[in-house]
Structures are given as C-alpha cells and as structure tokens.
Structure 1
C-alpha cells in the first residue's frame, strides 16, 4: 500500500481473556522512505468494534517493532482486530480470544489430507503422546467428523463441473471412531463413514480427535480430509457462450462429458443419462434465482431433452442440444452416471442472437488470444526463461514483463515459421513474480493463416531471489527442565545480518489452532496481482481483424487451518516467553538466557527474522520437551459446591530407571479436607506412568480452595 509493505504477527493462534498479547510488526519502506520521526500506531478493537487499546511507537531504522498488549480477564471472546497504521497505509490482523485450555497430549492424526472413501475401508495411524515425551498408553480415543460441502475438481479436467447443482447438502456430524491406544500410544483406525443424505460431489471432512487422560481431562486435535461418497464421478464441460456468456437459440450446442474414478483416473465405458430441463425464470423479485427449489421443481417435469450416452475407453463422450428460435430462457443441464448415482451439471442461458449481441464465432471484436508457454513455472535469479509461441514468418512480437506496479522490461522479437522461442534473463527486479505479455503482430496483407492481425497472450511466472531468504539457526538443549536456566544461541546460516524476535510458547496452546511459525517472506513475496493495464488502437487504425483483449486473472491466497472448537477452560497461566526485537550484526551469533516457569510438557521456540535493508525475511523453529525425572499432572473441576465430595486424580511419570519408590502427599487449605489418607506410596519397577486417586470433601465455605 502506497509503496509500503507491512507484516503483523502474533506468537500463537489463540489467546485467553486476561492474557498478554505480543504483537510483532515488520515494515518495508524501501519504495517510499518514511521520516525518522514518523509514528507507528497500533489499535486493537474487540468483536463489537470498540477500540480497547492504542499504542504509538516512533520509526526505527531496523523497522522491526514489538507491541505488548494486556487484556482484561473479563474481555469478550471472539475475533478481535489489530490495525497498524503507518504513512497513510493500514495493515490488519485478526486476533482470536477464546476461553481455551492448552492440550497436555500431542495427537498426530495420519488422516490429515487423505481421501476417505465410502466404498472401501481406509486405515490410518493415530499416535498420542504426552507433550513431555512419555508414551500415552491405554488412553480412550474418540473421533467425530463434520462433513461440509466443497467444490469437486480433478487434475487435467479444467472447465469441467463435477458437482450436482440440483443436490443440496446440509452439514452432517458423524461419530466415526471410539477406542483405546495400545501400549505404544498408537491406535489403528479403520474408517468407512456412511452419510444419511446424498452429496453433490466430494465433501470436506473436518475430523475432531479427542484423547482422554485417565484423570478425565482431554486434549483435542482438528484436521481435514476429503470424503468421497461415489466410486465414479461424471463431469460436464459447458459450451463457451458469446461475449455476454449466453448461448443462442436456433443453434446446436456441444456439451463434453467425462467420467473419472475417485482418484481422478479416466474411467471408460460408463452409461450416462443426459437431461436438460427448463428452469423457471424468476427475475429480480426473487433474490434466490439460483435456488434449489426452482431446480427441484424443474426436475419434476418432463425434460426438454433426454439422451443416453456411453463414454469411450478414455472416459470421454459428448452430446448436442439446441432450442428453437422462440425457446429462450434458463436451462438446467444434468448428466447422471447410472451405476454410481453421481450427477453433475449447471445452468445455461439461451437467448436470441439479436438480443444478446453477435456471437464470438461470427465477429472480430472478441479476444484474439495467443497461447504460449514458459519452460518452467518457477525461476531463480540468474536463470533464463525460455518462452515459446506459435507464429508465422515475417511478424513481430512485443514482449513486455510487468509486475504489481510497473513495466519491468520490454523486448521486440522477429517471428519464425512454426514457432518462435525467446530467452529472457531473470533478474532480482522480477521477484516475486512477473507477467509476461506478448502482443504478436502479423503483416497487414497476410493471407498465410486465418489468425487475426494482432494476437495477445499473458502468462505469470514466479521468481525466487535466494538473497531475500533468511535462514536463522537455533542452538539449544534437546530437553529443557522446568525452573532452570537455558541458553539459546541465534545465528544466520550464511552469516547475514538480521533483526529477530524470539517466542517460546507451550505446544499445547499452538496445537489448538495448528499454529504455523510466522514467516514474513511468505507475505512480502506472495504473488502480486498485475498492476499494469494495456490498450492498443489496432481496431481503430488498421481496419484489420485485431480483437479486443479480455483478461481474467485469479490470484489466490490460502487460509490457516482453523483449530478445534474452544473448550470451556480451567484457569491456567500460559507458558509464553517473548524476547526482542534484537539486531544481529553480520557473521555473528547472539546468546540469550531464559528460565522456564513451573511447567512440564513441550515448547516451541520460534524466531521471526527480517533484514529490511535487503528485503530479506525468514523464520526458524525448534520443538523441545520440558521434563524432570519425576513429574505429576493433576486435574480438578473448575467449580465445586460446599459439602460436595470430589476425587483428585494424580498422574505420576517416572522418566528414569533410578526412580523406584515415590511418596505422594496432598496439602489443602480450609476449602478442602482429605477423606482417608493424605499420603500414598507408589512403586516403579521401570520408567512408567501411574494414576493415584485422593478423595476430597469441600468445606462449608465460598472462595478459592
């Protein structure tokens, strides 16, 4: 924005009311230098839009900032918003505040990213371990899946629709597994879920896994997989409309169909039923003119057109459909695989040619697209891109390299017979991506081919400049101990100078949202949208068929995988240590000493690094268990009533062979009284975990026990 780039990051994905937020901000002002007195302002607003916190820092040359933001224990939960304002630009980040409790168990679910089929059993491993590294044996494991609608796509079948527009799907929740982990903390889970309702195509399965401690507390993990309800899928490719996207009455239109397996392999010799229905046209008075009710009422009528087609050995077939001159309107095209039961299709609008304008086949003012290719999608600085495009002899091509804000470079090239190839050297000015535009001009009087006098094409290429990547290195012990000093050494792999922050955070907090260590490089070098518009006046001056240029760009992003549902939480102090930002001079190593609080489990040490002078960014992480030779974890309800009796389960972990006999004692204030012995002896023959129970009676008082 306005020549400035900014990146806001937090030390975790979710906070509790009352927690302190550590918000980092990296600024890149190379394109528009700010004065040294310029303010950097952070504003935090709650889910109701009320401004809760504001802080101002002055511009620093290193351009790496830290804001420490306290929150109130009674702060409302939901999505908060952090806004950093600088030089007229604004940068935003969503901050999630929920009443969560950190996990104490690490759950590794192998179903993540896999395909689960309705027609065959899928078996995967689910591994559970205590965060501090001990084996989580004989623990109860439960899995639920939430099935949601998603778009069905297969590689190699662009422009084919594989979803049924006449089939709605409401979210379904299914209990898919209940069992116990074995002696190694592993459960082999076999899934073949069956749903109540029909699906329009593939579904997204959000799998929630709960692992229960023997004391009753549980940890959660959320992952996503793809669910395939059918064995074979049918896809329909609609004919291309005219410049208004319409088909024309009085003409025959070809519809291509394809059949594939659930893994996307062509499946031949399939019997398909193609049907076309007239859909009620509702105009503006009905906001839902694409709604399911108009489709289902259309399906209840006799189809306008019906044909049975069989796909060939490569899984392809086609059929033709046209209407009389007067039969204009909206039509639902639906093709069904008779055997698998899957249907796919879409709606087409068919109208009079004189109403919709002249067709793309009969006139010249539509885009005259030039198809061309680059020999790779990604290039490093210093390499050469080889561009190939079909051409005839005697023409000229204008090759223009353009990015998000300017034209980087232009070349003229003479065309050759059959194909022209052009080599383009890749420079650091082209990072993170450039668009290659080619305008191909043919001689005016050319009758050698039937292509227009001017053809136009565009292809994006990615450029990775290795000098913009920082690789911070972390050196620290493999195992940490609570309440003891630890030394952390930070350096950069190739000795580059950098600024950095260090965050040491409880893995049980990070796992709730599957938090990825922030890396500013991914944002600063994300694919940029084209910022250059191109016109020419060939149609007006030359009087030959030149064609207008219609560009369609789809610049996509990604979204972090959302975490588990927030659990009502016990009170706890989050394990978060946040240091920096520090400056590391070229070729040096810095040493930091930290002391962990009274905590056992696992922490992730995260370094977020930047060098704004060289526009270089990077991050590093290291996960380490925090444990002692002898550890305990205890669980109690958050609230109890006077005179109530409760059981206090205590899980003991002996991590070393020399720990044999342990004495466990419970001490209480006047809120509780121990019923029975307040001390128990536990014997270990080898490193193991054991659960001991104490009975407590609540006193006849109100307060904190």
Structure 2
C-alpha cells in the first residue's frame, strides 16, 4: 500500500506573562495595568542608497497618496512618494500639517524602511487637516519635488471604547499575570470577577453562548450561578487616540488565584449601559485539545507549564442543556477516547481544582479541507461498471462488479446487499448480489416501463458503516433527427459591432428544417488567456467591471432553405478587454423536442493587445479579487524582485513589435482599522487605495518578448502593461510573501505554525517515515498519524527551536490512503518583565 501524508500545522498556544511588582498584594484604588506586549526597537535594515539612486535614476519625485491609516493601533497620517527619500534631510522643515481648528499639528515624521513613506502618528479624531509639502523635498536620486503639494482630509471619528480582547481565555495558574483588554481613549474601568460555582458549571455553560457582552436580562439568570469574588477599578491610560491591548493585572489578587472558571464583567468608569463587555476565562494548568471524528472524540491533555502530557484527567462532554452525554479519563499519555453523541457541545477537563473547557462549536481545523486525492478510503471497495450509464425506461441495466481491498487486490467474494434507489431517494428494490466461481459479479437490472427519469443509485455497505454508491441515469431520450450548424466570424469581432451568426438546420435524411423555431441564449465572459498559442499570458484589465452579460434571444424561424441569420445587439461596446461570446442555440423539432449546439466567438477591443505572464508561482487570472483567498493569483515566496514577461500579440498568436510600452507596478493597499460596537464587539474594516509605485518603459522586438522585474515587499500588487499606440491595458494581480491561510506545503509558512516535512513523497507498507518538525519556538507536544476514523499512532515530542526529526513506523495493518500527519507544540509559559505605561 502507498501511504500518502498531508502536511498541516495546528495553532500553537503561545503563552507568556509579565512580572507583578506586588505579587501578593491586591491593588488598592486604581490598579496599574501592563502592556500586553512590548515591541523592542529594532534597527532599520541597511539601505543601499547608491543602489536605490541608480535604480530610480531620472525618475520624477511626486506625492502619490495621502491617507489616514492605523499603525500599532494609532491613527496615523501616511504620505507616499514615487521615489525613496533622502533620509538625511529634516522632514519637519518640508512637511507641515495644520488643523483648521487648532492650528499646527505637532509630531515627528517617521520614514518607512523602504524610504517611500512618511508617517505622523496620533491624529486627533474628526479634524479637518491641511497637509503642505514644500517644493524642494529631496529624493535619493537627487530629484526634488518640483512644486508645492497641498492635500486636505478629515480624520475618522474615534469613539471611546473598551472591551475584552477574547471571548474566552485559558490562563496558566502560576503564570497568569493579566487578562487582555482592548481600550481606546478609556482611562479607567471597573471590573467585577465572578467565580462559577462548580455544581452550577453545566447549567452556566449551557446558558453562556460565548458572547462578548452581558446584558442586564442575561445577568439575572447567569450571576446567581456564580460568586462575586473581587471587584475593583483599574487604571488603563492607553496612549491618546491609540487602540491598545493592555493586561488587567490579576496575579496579585488573592481572590483570583484559586483555579476555576471565571466571568469578568467590565464597564468604563462613570458609564452605565444595558450591556457590558464580558468574557469567560479559566485559571488552569490543563491544556486541552480535541480531535473530532465521525463517531468519536480523541482528547489530549498537557500541562501548560512545561508541556508534558497530563494523565488521570477526568473528561466530561455536555450537551447544550448542561447534561453529561459522555465521560472518560486520560491515561498516562494524556489521551482519552470518548464516543461522540449527536448533541455534544462542550468538553470539560478537570483534575483536582483545575478545570479547562473547550466548545465543540467553536473554530476548528478541518482536516478535510486539506485534500488528499482519490476516493474515500474503505477496507473493501466494490468497483461497478457497465457498457453505458444512460438507459431508457423499460431497458435492462447491465452491471458488472469487482470486489477488492483498499489496495486494489483481490479478496474472497462475499454476498453484497444492494439497494436500488430512485431519483426521489425511495428504495425501488433490494437484492443480494452473488459472485460467480471466478469472483466476478454480474447482474441485469430490469427497469419498469414507467420508471421515473433522473439519477438512479445502487447503494451498498461492505461492513465499514460507510455506504458506497454507483450511479446511472434514466432518461426518456430518442436519437437526434436534426443537424444544426452555427457559424460566426473566423476572426475576433470588435466590442462595438453586433456579432452575427449564420444558422443552418436540416433533417438527417437531407430535407431542410424549414419553418422550425430556433431559441437561444448568449453568455459573455472575460477571456483572460485570450491567445491559445501563448499559454499563461494574461490579456485585458483585471480591474475592468461589467464584462459579464447573460442574454435571452428572441425566437427565430428558419426559412424555406433551413437558414437564418442571428444578430446579437452588443451591450459591451465600451469593453477594453478581450471577451468570449458563447452562443447556445436550440433548434426545435416539429414535436417540440430541441437539439442544442454551442459556439464560442472571440471579441477583441483592438488588433493587438499587450500580454503579461508572471515568472513565479501560478496564475489562472480569475476576474474577481478576494483578499482572503485569491484562487489562481500568482504569488511570490517572499520579499524580493518579482519578474514578468511582456508580449505584444494579435489574436492569431503572432508576436509583434512595440515601442515605448508602459509597465506599471501598483500596490493594492488596504488600510485596516478597528471599530467597536455593543452588538458586534470589535470588528475589522478597511479602506482600499491603488498606489502607482513604479513605471518603466520598454521596447519589444518582433517574434520576441521582454522581461522586467520590480522590487516588492509583503502584500498585494498589480502589474499593468499599456500599449501606447492604442491605450489598451492588460494587468495581472499577484501577492508577495506568505499569506495567512498558507500551509506548510513547501511555500510560505505562517509565523505561528509548525512546519512539517517528510523525507519522501510516498511510502510503502512497513517503511519508516522521517518527519522533521520545525516550530516557531521550542516546546513540548505531540505528533499524530490520523485517518478519518481516528488516530492510528501518536507520540509525545519535545522539540527544540531549531527543529527535530522523528521516525514514524508505517504499520502494514493501517492499509489506508487517507492519512494525515499533524503536530501540536506548546511553548512553555514564562514570566517576562514588561514596562508599566502611564502609571499615576
């Protein structure tokens, strides 16, 4: 058997905490808070000014964008330039920001690492600002801003908000220093901490829906199930107009040192509302992970302090009503196997006073999303085949079958019970299928004259509880009696022209289909790969809108010779990108039964078009852009030059000469910012801008192409190629660097992922696979081989920061083709000394 491993990484529990100056003394009055994280100042990367000056030689310095963005949670003014700036000049002398109400805005301008952007932080909300950039601002290529630049903008409104950073937190008992809170212009908060009563835990969890707030109505039902153990005022004092994550210091509060499940309810001091920010958190040293399969749960418990497996942990599964539906206890390896009830909702793990919980309806890593090619694995497979899969009512369906194991090898024949299901999913009949002496299965299934048309199924179970299917169609069809020919233009038509098609219909015995009716539809779609002889080249603008059209044609009657001319009124005359028009025509027989044919007609906006192909990654040139998953979009593996190949071509695929072709690099920048509401909590929004970062001119000789490269950094880009003779533009989107959904398939890796790599692409039974585990930080955890039915092998691992290789014996008994290699590593928590900002 050939075992196939698919690589993925589970999210790490990266745990850290901070020192408390008064570890044993509760805070009196206003308790200071600590920053959730401190970003150490890092030296700027060395910039080769001479190389930059050479690269941008002769280019004009201009201001290409002025925007309000968020940097480290602070509203920031961003000014982007076409050429990197000379870092030695005093920017405060050249850039002036004035508030129309309060006059000059003070602050220090920060130059970005790539020297193309200046930033001024901590803008006041809802202010009308005027930015003036003086002429004479100097670039690295010695170019100067030719004229004074003035821009006006109004900053966004910033409502004072505060809320918990998470809807549920697991805090290690010995390392729990603070509860993360997100605050914007809120100096003080009052927080009440409730400890959920152990005997009320099931009912409390059943009623707590994981929301980010607690209403007065809900509090009447929930709070009686908990004890108020501490209340106090905390002094946040975040930086002005800056969304900051700070820690409420709970390590020094004795009332919050007992392990358990807590509810924290918070409000900005001096405010009262119907709903208050709230969160559920747990003080526990039990790290809990659950692998969910079709009929079972596999639970693993580890110590958050040190990462070792925890045994003898009781595990209870509750439904939405707080009723226990399954129970178990972990063994010495920290593993427990439980049945999966249909209504399972919450898993509780507890040992002594330690309790950890996990909601089964929360976000999870679905291994099924990591595709393994081929059909679903079965211990036995029944291959059914026949001479055809389309039958008329009343005919006999000829069926043949072969019974094989999961590797396709012969097995001893056995009787197989088969259900025949109609298109309405009703069972038509059942029969037991027996093999002949050679192990070959044959069966003749007689269909009734009145058998319903549609998709029929043979369903059978070979003992693994997973039904297998074979499908065939039943249709009341007759042989075609008509021939239909569609003919368009041999060359692409212009968007402004009405496409015309010659229609010819005749009976197969020779007579013309005179008087027969023709109906049809027209579908117009972008044609990105418009030249078959130039695969991979993209033509047309990917940003052009309104290129999709669906039209229903008026019926046409064929003349005495069986001919007709079909003219389609153009609705895409303004298109600047190549299109394909798909004509779908149906010719009716005298009895009303149609035959249908299709024809594709290219549409070109010019005699010649520029094309662009990325010399990295892959690209199918989808016409829709989706920041979360731009399928088919080209992607580089990291920062560095992105290279492209440019061609000028006609529809026949001839490579033409062109002079002064413009090639632009455009940054598709999304400026994200946070917004808070009582209903939705914190939500992410963005403003989108397209920044022209670079423009080059190149010449293309006949029968050849030209190459060009641009330096890029992480993020989304678009490269545009413009033909100066016609103004036609072709463009291609690409992404530089890793993407958040990237996995460890040889490409970029998310910074919080464990990278897994096998020593071979495939293995035979009995082989030993070597898996290299590379975590973002040293830690302990476990590695599993699992199938869709459950884990087959696992091992506790202790991984250093530089990574480590482990051997996995591939048991011959597994005999599966749906194996996954998964790993989870917990970085041990540690105390970190963080600064305390704004302490009164």
Pairwise TM-score range, normalised by the shorter structure: 0.3 to 0.5
Q: TM-score, normalised by structure 2?
A: 0.32
Q: Which has the larger radius of gyration?
A: 2
Q: Higher relative CO (CA 8 A, sep ≥ 6), structure 1 or 2?
A: 2
